[in-house]
Amino acid sequence: MRGFKAFLLRGNVVDLAIAVVIGVAFTTVVTAFVKDLVTPLIAALGGKPDFASLYFTINSSKFMVGDFINELISFVIIAAAVYFAVVLPVNKLISHVQRPAAPTTKTCPECLSAIPIGAKRCAHCTSPVAA
C-alpha cells in the first residue's frame, strides 16, 4: 500500500491528471468554437449549413461522410489551436530560459585535449596555453 501511495503522490501522476482535466475542458471549448463559428462560416462560403447531413448509401448501408468531415475539421482546428496557443509559446519560453552555459573548458592547441579555461599549461602534454 505504501508503494501505491508513493505512486499516486508523485508529481507526474498529478500533472497528468490536471492535463487530462484541462484537455477535456479545452476540447469542449474548441468543439463549441467549431460547431458554432467555423462550420457556419464554411457554410456561408460553401453554401452547405451542416456537413452532418451529407451521406451516401451502398447496399442499404448509410455512410455518414458529413460527420467525418465535421470531426476532421474539429481535429485540424484543435491541433492548430494547441500548436499556436501552447506549443509555440512554451518552446519560445523554454528557449529564452535555457541559455547556453558558459564554457568551462578549452582545447589544448598541441594535443587537443580538454583543459580548464583558466589553465596556463596543458595537464596532458605540459605545453603552455594562452589564457
**Per CATH, domain 2-97 is 3.30.43.10:** no
Give pLDDT tens digits for 71-88: 887 788 778 877 888 889
Domain range summary for the chain, segments of one domain joined by +? 2-97, 101-131
pTM of the entire predicted model = 0.48
Long-range contacts of residues 76-81, Cβ cutoff 8 Å, at least 24 apart: 77/30, 77/33, 77/34, 77/38, 78/27, 78/30, 81/26, 81/30
Give pLDDT tens digits for 38-84: 777 777 877 766 677 888 899 999 888 888 887 887 788 778 877 88
